[in-house]
A and B are shown apart, each in its own frame.
Chain A
Amino acid sequence: MLDVLAALADIFSSPTMYGSAVRLGGFLAFAALGELVAEKAGTINISVEGSLLAGAFGGAVAYHLAGSTWVGLAVGAATGVLIALIQANMSHRLTADQFVVGLTANVLILGLAGYLDAIIDPIAKRASVIEIPLLSDIPLFGPALFGQTWPTYLLYPLFPITWWLLYRTRWGLEVRSVGENPQASDVSGIDVNKRRRQAVCYGGVLAGLGGAFLVLGQVGSFDTGAVGGRGFIAIAAVYFGGWTLRGTLLGALLFGLADAFRLAVPVLGYQLNAQLLAALPYVLTIAVMYFITKPFRQPAALAHPFIRGLR
């Protein structure tokens, strides 16, 4: 028992663990931030998984062709939006079921990326680490937060930007309004399904960026299994956060930490079954959703399609 505690203390005091927690959590945070906006407008966007993968593949290919991380990130964001556009138009223009669309979009991009990957076989590279002076000297958390590859830093301004968009702009007000009460929004003169499409697309941009970050800021190569259900964990992070920005961030970090723990255990020389460790983030996510989700906090019209004249 004491051994276990000592081992845990060792793992949790290791700076590498927090470094990878920020990397893995950051990846989730990109997706979760976008998912939060989509859900605020009333869509449980399970195609966030597909957007992540599309962003990762698009980013890798663009880097392969252009040799620039910037281009890779931009193209990643753009490919992420492509998936979001399918989701948005199918479910909020044609009123097809959002889960059916999301699921199918995920299968589509999985096949497409696999097919094209075999042909193009993009070579990617990890972006360089930039240590921010002073801030990165803070013990334990300093290097974790401020000693990362530079695409990581794109994430930080996204929080205030997303917050500002949601809570300080008319667009954000309307997004929140259509997720809570589409009928009222409609009679107030808001194009409900347009706002929903836009919110899904915002989610697509961020998830695409997250995918490109995974390849170019974290792993350094592309693999079709790279995302492996982490998009769904990002959705869980939004639930964990009770549909607040702060909570969502916390959720992403928590799940990132679990992922980092999984990686840190063998690195630090401890023996634990690899499969059980790999299952840990998912088990934790499920446990957290079971114990912490407060369904009554969710946007009232979450997952309800809006058709004018139909309550």
Chain B
Amino acid sequence: MTKRFGKVVACDEVDFTLRRGEIHGVLGENGAGKSTLMRVIFGLTLPDKGVMKLDGRSVRTLDPLEAGRRGIGMVHQHYSLVDNLTVWENAALGEQGRIDPAATKQRIREISEKYGLEVDPDAWVRDLPAGIRQRVEIIKCLRREPRIIILDEPTSVLTPAESEQLFDVLAEGVKSEQWAVALVSHKLDEILRAADRITVMRHGRVVERYLTVQADAPSLARAMVGRPVALRAVTAGLDAAASGAPVGKAAPTGSGEDEGAGFERAPPVLRIEGAAVKAGDGSVLLDGLSLEVRAGEIVGMVGVEGNGQTPLADVMSSMLELDEGRVEVAGRAVTTGAAGAMARAGAAVIPADRHRSGCVLGLTVAENLMLSLLDRMHNRGLLRRDAIRRNALDLVEEYGILTPGPDTPLGNLSGGNQQRVVLARALSADPKVMVAHQPTRGLDVGAIEYVGDRLRRAADDGLGVLLISSDLGEIFALADRIAVIYQGRIVGGMPRSELDMERLGLLMGGAGAAEEAA
């Protein structure tokens, strides 16, 4: 199969075979073409070339409905559930014919029971936490009794325990009902854990095929990236924690509660006390969150997505006003929700969704790069065009941004280069503290390494960094200290040197609420 987008080849003569009764892991870094391959199978993208055979017969899926009729189901990474519909309504989306609420609900209950995926069919999806939503996704997929199931990065919103449960369900279905499962992931450990066979993709091509029993992490990593790499850049989760390759300077020992060797003496550059805020519809976004980041340290915030990470980043971007609590940046209290107040006080943010609040696609590269320096870039209200251009050229060089020129619209740059622009603009204003929310999501390995190194270097120069990530590997590789967020609160933490995976997993799953009370 071949798929081109304009001049770009997303999939280049990819061969892929999926057998009944197996879990087939598709491994590759972001942009390797694995998602495109799955979208073609599911009918969301039409291929330019190639054939697909289902049970030996040549077929072409033109849209997801047809894929569903052919017995292909897909569990999507994001965006597949509608918040303001109930569970059963979501499950009924994308079918045809009359809807029958009673039968749909009954069917959901049956599936719930069979696979131990408990969920209330009448619940509103907007009220459900991320883990349960994933269940709904799976039920929505299973309801059509697929023979082929595609899972696209299914664990990014799950706790380790929930991931385990998911893999158990898959293993059960493969064994008892001969499902054919395609598990797409960029996480080595979960592919090794769950798959029977592994296909590794790189730059739109299949580069290696393994039986899992013959594969090991280093060789997979090499195949995925195309060169030997530090495992930390590509692995995530438990394995990374075990190998725990430290980066930058040596891990500070005993920087925990008792000893005060490392950063304890450094002044706090960010202090949040009792931050609480509710959304317009009354749902709780932050619920008394308290946190401290000291100069020169990287605090890794872990937690399942949707537990308050985005509201926290929004507060630090001056986009959200706190109902209660206070925020201090570099020792000075900052008004929350006042335009530009956080930035002026010295807080920079790399948002998770750069298109929402990180950069402006419609403006040029140079204009984006001056955003944090607006006050310095005009002379009595007239823009200093020379200064803007010089600033852009300097930053483009310093951060290795690939662009035809500073006056190119940002939208014409690739995702990795856009992220470099975001990083450059965030660091260009010499912030005291940086909140980096999923700074490497969607980037290729080179860019991931670059962003990580850059953050580490900035921290070594005295920047306090709050690194929010659902990628545990990234946290373990970079953070000096770990804080766990759950339902809008910090429910516990530990220095990296005293990492306790089991406790971390429990905290992320909500077991920390009691602990915190104690």
Interface of A with B (CB < 8 Å)?
168-170, 173-174, 176-177, 180-181, 183-190, 294-297, 299-300, 311
Tell whether B429 is near chain A: CB-to-CB under 8 Å: no
Question: CA A183 – CA B79 in complex, angstroms?
Answer: 6
Tell whether B96 is near chain A: CB-to-CB under 8 Å: yes
Stretch from B84-92, B436-444, B474-482 forming part of the interface with A = B84-92
Question: CA A295 – CA B76 in complex, angstroms?
Answer: 29
Q: Is the CB of A177 within 8 A of B93?
A: yes
What is the 8 Å Cβ interface bit string for chain B, positions 27-38, against chain A (1 contact, 0 not)? 000000000000
Q: Is the CB of A190 within 8 A of B94?
A: yes
Q: Who on chain A is nearest to B81 by CB?
A: A184
Q: Could you say which residues of chain A place their CB within 8 Å of the CB of B279?
A: 296
Tell whether B65 is near chain A: CB-to-CB under 8 Å: yes
Which listed residue (A168, A189, A300) contacts B84, Cβ 8 A? A300
Q: Who on chain B is nearest to A311 by CB?
A: B355
11 A-B pairs besides A181-B82, A187-B76, A190-B94 with CB distance below 8 A are: A170-B96, A173-B99, A176-B82, A176-B84, A181-B79, A184-B80, A185-B82, A187-B44, A187-B79, A189-B64, A189-B93
Enumerate 6 A-B pairs (CB-CB under 8 Å) in ascending A order. A169-B99, A170-B97, A174-B93, A180-B85, A183-B78, A185-B93
Tell whether B280 is near chain A: CB-to-CB under 8 Å: yes
Q: Is the CB of B83 within 8 A of A188?
A: no
Q: Is the CB of A189 within 8 A of B280?
A: no
Given contacts A170-B92, A170-B97, A188-B64, contact A300 B85 (CB under 8 A): no
Tell whether B239 is near chain A: CB-to-CB under 8 Å: no
Q: Could you say which residues of chain B place their CB within 8 Å of the CB of A168?
A: 99
Question: CA A176 – CA B281 in complex, angstroms?
Answer: 19
Tell whether B227 is near chain A: CB-to-CB under 8 Å: no
Tell whether B98 is near chain A: CB-to-CB under 8 Å: yes
Q: Could you say which residues of chain A place their CB within 8 Å of the CB of B65?
A: 189
Q: Could you say which residues of chain A place their CB within 8 Å of the CB of B68?
A: 189
Residues 54-88 (chain B) with a chain A CB within 8 angstroms: 63-65, 67-68, 74, 76, 78-85
Q: How far is the CB of B63 from chain A (nearest CB, A)?
A: 6
Residues 117-176 (chain B) with a chain A CB within 8 angstroms: none
Q: Is the CB of B85 within 8 A of A177?
A: yes
Q: Could you say which residues of chain B place their CB within 8 Å of the CB of A311?
A: 355
What is the 8 Å Cβ interface bit string for chain B, positions 306-322, against chain A (1 contact, 0 not)? 00000000000000000
Q: Could you say which residues of chain A place their CB within 8 Å of the CB of B95?
A: 170
Q: Who on chain A is nearest to B68 by CB?
A: A189
Q: How far is the CB of A125 from chain B (nearest CB, A)?
A: 43
Given contacts A184-B79, A189-B64, A189-B65, contact A173 B93 (CB under 8 A): yes
Q: Is the CB of B281 within 8 A of A296?
A: yes
Q: Is the CB of B99 within 8 A of A188?
A: no
Most chain A CB inside 10 Å of its own CB: which residue of B79, B82, B95: B82
Q: Is the CB of B84 within 8 A of A180?
A: yes
Q: Is the CB of A173 within 8 A of B92?
A: yes
Question: CA A189 – CA B44 in complex, angstroms?
Answer: 8
Question: CA A168 – CA B100 in complex, angstroms?
Answer: 9
Question: CA A188 – CA B279 in complex, angstroms?
Answer: 28
Q: How far is the CB of A239 from chain B (nearest CB, A)?
A: 15
Given contacts A184-B79, A188-B93, A300-B83, contact A170 B280 (CB under 8 A): no
Q: Could you say which residues of chain B place their CB within 8 Å of the CB of A190?
A: 93-94
Question: CA A297 – CA B63 in complex, angstroms?
Answer: 32
Q: Could you say which residues of chain A place their CB within 8 Å of the CB of B98?
A: 169-170
Q: Could you say which residues of chain B place their CB within 8 Å of the CB of A185?
A: 82, 93-94
Question: CA A186 – CA B89 in complex, angstroms?
Answer: 15
Q: Could you say which residues of chain A place their CB within 8 Å of the CB of B280?
A: 294-296
Q: Who on chain A is nearest to B353 by CB?
A: A311
Task: State the 6 A-B residue pairs at the shortest beta-carbon distance, nearest first.
Answer: A189-B64, A188-B94, A296-B280, A189-B94, A183-B79, A189-B65
Given contacts A189-B63, A296-B279, contact A173 B80 (CB under 8 A): no
Q: Could you say which residues of chain A place their CB within 8 Å of the CB of B92?
A: 170, 173
Question: CA A296 – CA B280 in complex, angstroms?
Answer: 6
Which listed residue (A187, A296, A300) contacts B64, Cβ 8 A? A187
Q: How far is the CB of B136 from chain A (nearest CB, A)?
A: 11
Question: CA A2 – CA B395 in complex, angstroms?
Answer: 75
Most chain A CB inside 10 Å of its own CB: which residue of B67, B68, B78, B80: B80
Given contacts A169-B99, A170-B97, A188-B64, contact A176 B76 (CB under 8 A): no
Q: Who on chain B is nearest to A172 by CB?
A: B99
Question: CA A300 – CA B280 in complex, angstroms?
Answer: 13
Q: Could you say which residues of chain B place their CB within 8 Å of the CB of A170?
A: 92, 95-99
Q: How far is the CB of A175 from chain B (nearest CB, A)?
A: 11
Q: Is the CB of B82 within 8 A of A177?
A: yes
Q: Could you say which residues of chain A place their CB within 8 Å of the CB of B81?
A: 181, 184
Question: CA A173 – CA B280 in complex, angstroms?
Answer: 25
Question: CA A112 – CA B79 in complex, angstroms?
Answer: 43
Q: Who on chain B is nearest to A177 by CB?
A: B82
Q: Is the CB of B99 within 8 A of A180?
A: no
Question: CA A173 – CA B281 in complex, angstroms?
Answer: 22
Q: Is the CB of B80 within 8 A of A188?
A: yes
Q: Could you say which residues of chain B place their CB within 8 Å of the CB of A189?
A: 43, 63-65, 67-68, 93-94
Question: CA A296 – CA B283 in complex, angstroms?
Answer: 12
Q: Could you say which residues of chain A place their CB within 8 Å of the CB of B94?
A: 185, 188-190
Q: Who on chain A is nearest to B96 by CB?
A: A170
Q: How far is the CB of A193 from chain B (nearest CB, A)?
A: 14
Question: CA A174 – CA B78 in complex, angstroms?
Answer: 19
Q: Could you say which residues of chain A place their CB within 8 Å of the CB of B82?
A: 176-177, 180-181, 184-185
Q: How far is the CB of B496 from chain A (nearest CB, A)?
A: 34
Which listed residue (A169, A173, A295, A296) contacts B85, Cβ 8 A? A173
Most chain A CB inside 10 Å of its own CB: which residue of B65, B84, B85, B279: B84
Q: How far is the CB of B300 from chain A (nearest CB, A)?
A: 27
Q: Who on chain A is nearest to B44 by CB?
A: A187
Most chain A CB inside 10 Å of its own CB: which residue of B79, B83, B93, B97: B93
Question: CA A182 – CA B230 in complex, angstroms?
Answer: 40
Most chain A CB inside 10 Å of its own CB: which residue of B43, B79, B95: B79
Residues 288-339 (chain B) with a chain A CB within 8 angstroms: none
Q: Who on chain A is nearest to B98 by CB?
A: A170
Question: CA A296 – CA B98 in complex, angstroms?
Answer: 31
Q: How far is the CB of A257 from chain B (nearest CB, A)?
A: 30
Q: How far is the CB of A235 from chain B (nearest CB, A)?
A: 20
Q: Could you say which residues of chain B place their CB within 8 Å of the CB of A300?
A: 83-84
Q: How far is the CB of A189 from chain B (nearest CB, A)?
A: 3
Most chain B CB inside 10 Å of its own CB: which residue of A176, A186, A187: A187
Question: CA A177 – CA B140 in complex, angstroms?
Answer: 15
Question: CA A169 – CA B92 in complex, angstroms?
Answer: 11
Q: Who on chain B is nearest to A308 by CB?
A: B44
Q: How far is the CB of A248 from chain B (nearest CB, A)?
A: 17
Q: Could you say which residues of chain B place their CB within 8 Å of the CB of A177?
A: 82, 85, 89, 93
Question: CA A189 – CA B93 in complex, angstroms?
Answer: 8
Q: Could you say which residues of chain B place their CB within 8 Å of the CB of A174?
A: 93
Question: CA A222 – CA B84 in complex, angstroms?
Answer: 42
Residues 330-364 (chain B) with a chain A CB within 8 angstroms: 355
Q: Who on chain B is nearest to A301 by CB?
A: B82
Most chain B CB inside 10 Å of its own CB: which residue of A168, A177, A189, A311: A189
Most chain A CB inside 10 Å of its own CB: which residue of B63, B65, B99, B355: B99
Most chain B CB inside 10 Å of its own CB: which residue of A186, A294, A299: A186
Question: CA A295 – CA B279 in complex, angstroms?
Answer: 12
Q: How far is the CB of B415 from chain A (nearest CB, A)?
A: 13
